[in-house]
Structure 1
Amino acid sequence: MAAAAGSPALAAPLSWKPGVEGQRQADLGDGTFLNPIVAGDRPDPTILKDGADYYMTFSSFEAYPGVVIWHSRDLVNWTPITAALKTPIGSVWACELIKHKGRYYIYIPARYPDRRSTYVIWADDIRGPWSEPVDLNLPDHIDPGHAVGEDGKRYLFLSGGDRVRLTDDGLATDGPVEHVYDPWRYPVEWDVEGFAPEGPKITRRGDWFYLITAVGGTAGPPTGHMVIAARSKSIHGPWEHCPHNPIVRTKSKDEKWWSRGHATLVEGPAGDWWMVYHGYENGYWTLGRQCLLDPITWTSDGWFKANGGDLSKPLRKPRGGQAGPNGLALSDDFSTSKLGVQWAFADPAPGELDRVRYDRGLVLKGRGTAPKDSPPLTFVAGDQAYEIEVDVEIPAEGTAGILLFYDKQLYCGLSFNARTFITHQYGLERGRPANPNGRRMRIRIRNDRHIVTFHTSPDGRTWTKFDRQMEVSGYHHNVRGGFMALRPGLFAAGRGEARFNNLTYRALP
C-alpha cells in the first residue's frame, strides 16, 4: 500500500551485515548460539516455516507502524524486513502468522479501552503490501492460533480453551465461539500470576494435532509462566494432556530467564525440532520479554521434551540452514526512513505519521506540551547497558528531547526549549535549570544497567554532565502494567518543528 499523500514513506525492506552494533548477537560463530535469538522487547513470538525461509513476528502493543516481520534461514540469525500493520487498531497482543494456499495472514488481537476485537490482515507477498485490518468481531478473547482440521476447515483457537471456525477465505468467522479444551492445571503450591490459559498454537505432525498452551500468567512471579501440551487425532478432540507437563517452566528466581512461556513448535532446516517462546531476563523486566529458542526431541510415545535446560548456556545451532544477516543497526543518520522497522510512534493518534518528514535529518512536528500528550518516536533496545547521542535543533517556541519511555504515565528524559532544560522523571516534568546552549545542542543519554545519566554539548566535543541522575529498574510491567518495555525515544512538543540528526547507539560493556 502506498503512503498517504504528505506522509513519510515507511522503511523499505532492510538487510544488515552480521554483527551490527547495538544488537546482542545470538550466533557465537563456533556452531553454537546463546539466547536470546532476538533481544529486547519481542514477546509472544509466532513463527512460520515457508520452505527454506522462516518468518516471525511479535506483539507490538501500542507501537505503530507495528507487527514487524523478521526473516531467518537458520532460526538463529534474524533481520527485520517490514512492518505489516500501519492502521492503529489498539494495543496489539499475541498474533498468529500463517500461510494458507499461497497467501499470508496475520491474526491480530487488539484492544482500545472501549473496544476489543481480533483482526486479520493478509498479503500475497510476505514483504507486502499488507491489507487493511478486517474485524472478526471477537471481543472476548486474545491470542488466536490458526489450524486446518482433518476436515479441511479453518479454525482459530482462542484464549481460555475456546475455538471458532473461519470461512474458507479466513476473513470472517463461520459459527459461534465454542469451548473445546480444559488445560492441564499446575499444583496449587506453585507461585504464579494466575491460571490464564492463553497463546494456543496447533502443530500437526503425523497422526496427531498438538495443542501448545501457556498458563500461569505472563508476568508476576518469575516462576509463573509455563508451556503445556495436549494432543488429539482430531481437531475436534478429545484432547489428551501431556504426561510431561509442564514442558517448560522457570523453577527459581535465580535462573537466567524468568516467566518462560508462550511457545510455538517449529521444524528446523534439517528436520530437527525447536520451540520459540519468550522470557524476561533476570533483573531486567525493563527490557520486556525476549525471544528464546529451545531444542526439543520427540519421545517414543509421540510426545516431546525440551532439552535446553534453563537456556543460560550456549546451545548447538540447528542443523542445516544458512546464516544470513542478523540484527538491526540502531544508529541512524536519518538519510533514509527506518519508520516501521526501527522507529514507531507510541500510542499514536490518527494521522500521527504526518508529523514526520526527512529533510537534512528527521524533522518532527511538535504536538502537545510533553511526552504525556506528544507521542514520541521510539525503538526497541536489547542491551542491558547502552548510550545514545543525537543532535537536536528546536524552533523558537518548541521543546524537544530524548527519553526512555514506558507509556504516557511513566517515562524519564531530558528536553529543552530556548531558555531552559526540562527534566522528566516518573512521567512528570520536574526541574527547569537554565539552558546555556540555545536552540541547538547534542544530547547523550546513558542507561547503564538502570542508572540513567545525561550529558549535553554545544558542539559535540565539549560535554557537561547534567545535574540529575535517575534509577529506572522499576519502569516495567509489574509496577505499571501494560506488558511493554522501556524504549529509547525522541519527542517534540509545542509549536514548530524539531530536527534530529546523527543518532548514534553504542552498547556498553
Structure 2
Amino acid sequence: MLAGSLAPAAAPLLALPAPRGKVPWGSGADGQRKADLGNGTFRNPIVAGDHPDPTILKDGADYYMTFSSFQSYPALVIWHSTDLVNWAPIAPALQKNLGVIWAVDLVKHDNRYFIYIPADPKGDGWSIFVIWADDIRGPWSDPIDLRIEGQIDPGHIVGEDGKRYLFTNGIKKIRLTDNGLATDGVLEQAYAPWRYPDDWVVENFAPEGPKLLWHNGWCYLVTAVGGTAGPATGHMVITARSRSVHGPWEHCPHNPLVRTTSVEEPWWSRGHATLIEGPAGDWWMVYHGYENGFRTLGRQTLLEPIEWTADGWFQAKGGDLSKPMRKPGRGRASPSAPPLSDDFSRNRMGTQWSFHEPAAGGAGRARYDGASIRVQASGTSPANSSPLTCIVGDRSYQAELSLDLIGNAEAGLLLFYNHKAFVGIGFTPDTLKIFEYSEELTWARRPLRTRTLRLRIHNDENVITQSYSLDEGRTWTRHDTRMEVSGMHHNVFGGFLSLRLGVYAAGSGEVRLRDFRYSAAPAP
C-alpha cells in the first residue's frame, strides 16, 4: 500500500443485541454464515471457518485476499471483495505441490501480482518461494525457490530507495532483485520486537507475520508475537515505525494494539494483522482468531476498524467483536461465497474442494463426470487415503452425500482434522463401518450389501450424529454411536488445521460423489 492521508475516525459499534440460540447469525438454510447483516452492519468473522494468516491487497476499488493453505491442494485460493465484508473465492493460485504452506504475502508491483510462499516441500526444511501472474485470476507461474532457507512469514515492501525487500520471522530482512524473483543480498536482522511483560500468559515470544506499509512518510512494521495458538491470551498485534526500511525502528507506545486478555472474550488468540485502507479512505485491520469454544473451526478472518491518532500511531477501535459494526463506507456491493451445497455440475476444485496432503500429482485424482465427481481410490482407510475436504464455518450444520462404489473401493463421509484425528461413517460393498477418534470401531461393523449409499453427518456444536440411507435420502437409519469432537484442534493434534468435512475413497477403483447438500444448524 502507498502512503495515504490521515483517515477519519472509524465507525463506532452499534448497540445491537447479539442473536441467541443454536442458529449462528447470518446463516441461511443452505450455506455458511455470512458477515453482512444486510442493514449496513456486519459481524465477524468476515470469512468464516479455517482462513488463517490473511494477506490482503487493495487494488484500485478491488480487494484480494488469500490465506495459509497448509497441506490442501489445489492451494492458495484467491478471494475477492469490493466492500471488505463480503468475500467470494475466485480460483486457486497454486497447483504444484510444495508440501506444507504457511503464511504468505500477496502483493502487486509494477502491474504484476506476486505471492511469496513459505513452504517445506520435502518435510526437511523451510524455504521461501514466489509465484507471479499478470492477471490476479491467473494463470500463475510455477513456483520459484528464492532459497531463503529456514524462514517463514514473508512480508514484502518497497523501500525509500526504490528497492524491494522481504521481511521474515525473526524479524529479518533480505533485498530482492527488481523483478522480485530472486534475492539480491543477504538475510540480516532488521528489528528487535517490543516485548510484553514477563508475567503475561502467552505461548512463546515467536515474532512472526511481519506486514509493512508506508503512511504519511513513515514505514510501519506490524508484527505478531506471543504464539499463534496455545493460551487464548497469547497471540497479539504490535507495531513499530521508521523513516527507512533499514531502521532505526521506534516501538509503538500503545503496544499491544490487539490482544485477547480473558477467556471470556468471544475471540481468542487474535493476531497476525495487516492494515488496509477502506473504500471511503477509512482504515481497517484484518487478522485471525479462534472463536470461543470452537477451536475446531480453525482460525477465522476478522475485520476491525482502526483510527490514526494525532501522534502518528493507530489504535484498534472494534471493541467487542461479537457485536455488529458499521460496514466500511462507500464500498460497492460485493457477492459473498456461494452456498456449499454442490451438484457437481461445475468445477469447484480449489475454491471449495481440496485434497489433504496428496501425493505428487494426487490433486488430479478427481474428475468431473456430468453431475458427479469420480475420485480415484487411494490408501486403505481414512488414515492414509488423502481425503477430499471442504472447509466449514458454522458451529452447527448438517451435510449429506451420495456415494457409488466402482471396482473394489471403499468410501465414507468424515469430519477430518488430519490422519491422526478424524471421525466418520463409511462402507464397502458388504459392510458398514464407523470411525471414532482416528480408528475404526470394528465391534460396531454392520453387514450391509450395497454399492450405493447416502451418508449424513450432523454436527450440533461438536456433538456428532451419523446416519445412512439406502434410498437416496427418503428414509434414514441413525447409527447408534454419537461422538464429541471439541478436542480435535491444534492445541491437541498440532498442525494449525481445522475439523473439515471430508470424503475418503480407499482400496482400488473409484468412488462417484453425487448431490452434496449442506445446511446450517438443522434438526438432527
Could you say which TM-score interval applies, normalised by the shorter chain?
over 0.9
Name the structure 1 match of 2:335. 325
How far apart, in 2, do the equivalents of 1:413 and 1:479 lie?
A: 19
Residue 405 (1) aligns with residue 416 (2): yes
Query: Which moved further from structure 2: 394-403 or 445-454?
Result: 394-403
Residue 183 (1) aligns with residue 196 (2): no
Name the structure 2 match of 1:428. 439
SS in 2 for 1:372: helix
The answer (yes or no) to whether the contact 2:454–2:469 under 8 Å persists in 1 is yes
How far apart, in 2, do the equivalents of 1:38 and 1:406 lie?
A: 19
Offset from partner CA, 1:67-121 (integer Å, 9 cap, x none): 0110000100100001001101111100000000000000011124213211100
Structure 2, unpaired ranges of 5+: 1-26
Name the structure 2 match of 1:24. 33
Mapping of 1:89-100 within 5 angstroms?
89-100=98-109
Name the structure 1 match of 2:380. 369
Name the structure 1 match of 2:276. 266
The answer (yes or no) to whether the contact 2:29–2:519 under 8 Å persists in 1 is no
Residue 298 (1) aligns with residue 311 (2): no
Residue 454 (1) aligns with residue 466 (2): yes
Offset from partner CA, 1:43-89 (integer Å, 9 cap, x none): 00000000000000000110000101100001001000010011011
Spell out structure 1 runs of 4+ moving beyond 6 A.
none
How far apart, in 1, do the equivalents of 2:136 and 2:423 lie?
A: 37
Name the structure 2 match of 1:14. none
Q: Which amino acid aligns with 2:431?
A: T
The answer (yes or no) to whether the contact 2:118–2:152 under 8 Å persists in 1 is yes
Structure 1, unpaired ranges of 5+: 1-17
Q: Which amino acid aligns with 1:471?
A: E
Mapping of 1:77-476 within 5 angstroms?
77-111=86-120, 112-360=122-370, 361-431=372-442, 432-459=444-471, 460-476=473-489
Q: Which amino acid aligns with 1:144?
A: P
State the TM-score, normalizing by the size of structure 2. Answer: 0.92
Offset from partner CA, 1:246-280 (integer Å, 9 cap, x none): 00000100000000000000000010000000000
Q: Structure 1 residues 461 and 47, CA, compared in 2 at 3 Å: closer, same or farther?
A: same
How far apart, in 2, do the equivalents of 1:377 and 1:59 lie?
A: 18
Query: Which moved further from structure 2: 314-323 or 192-201?
Result: 314-323
The answer (yes or no) to whether the contact 1:250–1:310 under 8 Å persists in 2 is no
Offset from partner CA, 1:12-35 (integer Å, 9 cap, x none): xxxxxx968322111111111100
The answer (yes or no) to whether the contact 1:98–1:105 under 8 Å persists in 2 is yes
The answer (yes or no) to whether the contact 2:409–2:510 under 8 Å persists in 1 is yes
Residue 76 (1) aligns with residue 85 (2): yes
How far apart, in 2, do the equivalents of 1:415 and 1:315 lie?
A: 43
Name the structure 2 match of 1:506. 519
Name the structure 1 match of 2:8. none
Query: Which moved further from structure 2: 243-252 or 367-376?
Result: 367-376
Offset from partner CA, 1:193-234 (integer Å, 9 cap, x none): 000000000010111000000000000000000000000011
Q: Which amino acid aligns with 2:454?
A: R
Q: Which amino acid aligns with 1:508?
A: A
> How far did 1:437 drift?
4.9
The answer (yes or no) to whether the contact 1:19–1:327 under 8 Å persists in 2 is no
SS in 2 for 1:160: coil
How far apart, in 1, do the equivalents of 2:500 and 2:154 lie?
A: 27
How far apart, in 2, do the equivalents of 1:19 and 1:243 lie?
A: 44
Q: Which amino acid aligns with 1:196?
A: A
Q: Structure 1 residues 74 and 384, CA, compared in 2 at 3 Å: closer, same or farther?
A: same
The answer (yes or no) to whether the contact 1:153–1:168 under 8 Å persists in 2 is yes
The answer (yes or no) to whether the contact 2:73–2:363 under 8 Å persists in 1 is no
Q: Which amino acid aligns with 2:160?
A: E
Q: Structure 1 residues 464 and 19, CA, compared in 2 at 3 Å: closer, same or farther?
A: closer
How far apart, in 1, do the equivalents of 2:301 and 2:361 lie?
A: 31
Match of 2:490 among 460, 477, 486: 477
The answer (yes or no) to whether the contact 1:396–1:439 under 8 Å persists in 2 is no
Q: Which amino acid aligns with 2:405?
A: I
- Identity over aligned pairs, percent: 60
The answer (yes or no) to whether the contact 2:421–2:488 under 8 Å persists in 1 is yes
How far apart, in 1, do the equivalents of 2:306 and 2:368 lie?
A: 47
How far apart, in 1, do the equivalents of 2:307 and 2:234 lie?
A: 24
